[in-house]
A and B are shown apart, each in its own frame.
Chain A
């Protein structure tokens, strides 16, 4: 089954404790991206990657890091999480011609930073 898998689905942690949210897709998609979703603000892109070893900032990259060492994986790293990063996070992927192709979203990760 074609899917985007995120882990964990839920995480409660404390300020300053490094965390990683994993994302994996099995559709051989070139393009992957991370979004955060906050009430009333819709979806905002954090980082995206057009292929292995190619990443770029989205609209709200501050406080986040990503890496793309393999085509299928695109982890999101919070080196020193802060309470304003409490949010619902979605990973997404698109195939070739990604700039005008629909994105496939994961199930989301709800992060709470205390």
Chain B
């Protein structure tokens, strides 16, 4: 089955810096890669996703890049703000088969004012 590795497990940055979280996956058939943000005590919420026919996607200060050959995808947050502090999860899913998304173990992002 699919295996998703997420790094780092903790990331501490100063406000205004950029943050990068990387995930690697094992199943080359995976073709949908969402990213979720979970604030303390709250539900995970989708912040951005990418499909395998796209190499990069941006939404204001966040972007996701996908390298299918290397089987990794990354979340980039620019100009970080304290409200970006949360746990971020990546996931991988093969839309043509199993409907079981595999999640990474999460990255705790701390943005210091």
Q: Which residues of A contact B (CB under 8 A)?
A: 31, 33, 40-45, 48, 50, 56, 58-59, 90, 98-100, 102-103, 105-108
Contacts and interface: CB of A to CB of B under 8 A. Distances in A.
A102 B46 contact: yes
B99 A100 contact: no
Interface of B: 6, 31-32, 34, 42-46, 49, 51, 89, 91, 93-96, 99-106
Given A90-B43, A90-B44, A98 B105 contact: no
Contact of B99 (A44, A99, A102, A105): A99
A99 B96 CA distance: 8
B99 A31 contact: yes
B105 A100 contact: no
Contact of A42 (B31, B93, B104): B104
A103 B42 CA distance: 15
B95 A100 contact: yes
A105 B44 contact: yes
A107 B46 CA distance: 14
Contact of B103 (A40, A43, A48, A106): A43
Nearest to B52: A100
Given A42-B105, A99-B94, A103-B46, 7 more contacts: A43-B103, A44-B103, A48-B99, A59-B100, A90-B43, A102-B34, A107-B43
